[in-house]
Amino acid sequence: MIEYLLIGILFAFFVEWIVDYLQKTGIYYQRHLTNLERILCVLIWPIGLIVFLRGFIVTIFKNNNDE
């Protein structure tokens, strides 16, 4: 159980980090997560991981096609 929560915390940290990076580079604008969204991210991180990877890949390929 503790491993599941630790992975969720690391995943939530990674999501925050990548959103900040994308905002700084001007690739993508996303508001910061609320505390409730962070808690849900920690608890249901496998689903969040799938959604995040899909959105990240779509955003990267979309911006590469625009250039």
pLDDT value of position 66: 57
pLDDT value of position 12: 83
User: Do the beta carbons of residue 7 and residue 45 sit within 8 Å?
Assistant: yes
pLDDT value of position 28: 65
Nearest to 11 by CA among 29, 28, 37, 66: 37
Digit-by-digit pLDDT tens for the chain (67 residues) are 788 888 888 888 888 888 788 778 877 666 777 788 778 878 887 887 788 889 888 888 876 665 5
Tally of domains within the chain:
1
Nearest to 12 by CA among 35, 28, 1, 27: 35
Q: Is the pTM of this model over 0.75?
A: no
In angstroms, the CA 22 to CA 26 distance is: 6
pLDDT value of position 60: 83
Domain residues for the domain of 20 are 2-66
In angstroms, the CA 23 to CA 25 distance is: 6
